[in-house]
Amino acid sequence: MNEAAPLNLAPKRQPRNPFWDSRVCALVSALIAILNVLPGRVARWCGRTAAAMAWLLDRKHRQQVLTHMDIAFRGTMPRAEKEALCRRWFEHIGLGLVEFARMRQLTRENVDQLADFTELKKFDELLARGKGLLCVPAHHGNWELCGYAVSLKGYPLQSVARPMDNPFLDELITAHRERSGNTIIQKWKVLWKLKKLLDKGGIVTMSIDQNGGVAGLFVPCFSTLASTVTSPAELHLATRVPIIVATLNRKPDKIHHVLRVWDVIEYPSSGDHDADVKAVITRINAAVERAVREYPEQWLWVHKRWKTRPPGEAPGPDGLPPEVKIAKIGVDKEGNGG
């Protein structure tokens, strides 16, 4: 199995300043400690207040989010509705950061008070076959809390993540993530390792809803071609373990969550490897799109999902990447793509 470039070699980074990196890490550590001392309602107020200030002051990212919403919802959502959605997105991120800081308060005994995990039964059904499981959660809902909580529920996740540029902060955040038993794997040079984990019945998680760069495969995302990392499809075709697209989404009370499974993918090999990879990745994108349409304020809209463009492509009349016609993917009565 060939290793795809996005999970192969680490990109070259500029030299870091250890003095400032250590100070930033100390500040983040202090903020985490403070948010854990505060009562929950006060900590959430802090998150919402910080988000409201960011909405007002961070014009750059506000415009970036709105531009990405223009691509996803072009012609179907009025500008005023997008602006309201953008403000709700800032609030969601603010609350998510507070929830991330306070994850260490969760235990096996109290995690069910936080979220509805009814759909974990689909994990059990797949794992009962004695094979591994490849989870694709996307940066949607509270993805950090998702991995942490599911691990507390007794599912030993092996999660692929890009290491932070600040090594002190990376060590702090990794330790924070792994308190529940969720093992973090740096994304560089790992495909063969992931294959062996899946072959042994392990549960691997990775998100591919970010720009895949020049090494990605162009497949539709909200009817617009988007460069997408192919690693889950490569692993699926090599190991035959199922792919499950799942997210942990915030409920309307903005405190509790619900685990949602959007698709279970078991794609039969056609003998045309490239076509199979494209079909699997297209289906993953379609499942993520369904999640975003149901909880539109909970996707990480700030990501430049459509940044890399196919060679020779010209923008549409609106200045945005052009739409493409795609075949509709069927959905069964349980919400799974077909």
> What pLDDT is recorded for position 265?
98
> What pLDDT is recorded for position 171?
97
> What pLDDT is recorded for position 333?
39
pLDDT in tens, 214-267: 999 999 999 999 999 999 999 999 999 999 999 999 999 999 999 999 999 999
> What pLDDT is recorded for position 46?
98
Give start and end residues of each alpha helix (H) in the chain: 18-37, 40-57, 59-72, 79-101, 121-127, 143-152, 167-177, 191-199, 231-239, 273-294
Q: DSSP per residue over 260-288, as a string?
A: EEEEEE-PPP-S-HHHHHHHHHHHHHHHH
Pairwise CA distance, residues 145 & 256, whole Å: 11
> What pLDDT is recorded for position 337?
47
Pairwise CA distance, residues 284 & 206, whole Å: 12
| Residue ranges of domains in the chain | 5-9+113-298
Question: Mean pLDDT per segment of 10 residues, for the chain of length 338 residues?
Answer: 49 84 98 98 98 98 98 95 98 98 98 98 96 96 98 97 95 97 90 95 96 96 97 97 98 98 97 97 98 98 97 93 74 44
Closest by CA to 161, choosing from 181, 178, 179, 149, is: 178
> What pLDDT is recorded for position 188?
79
> What pLDDT is recorded for position 9?
57
Closest by CA to 93, choosing from 52, 64, 32, 57, is: 52
pTM: 0.92
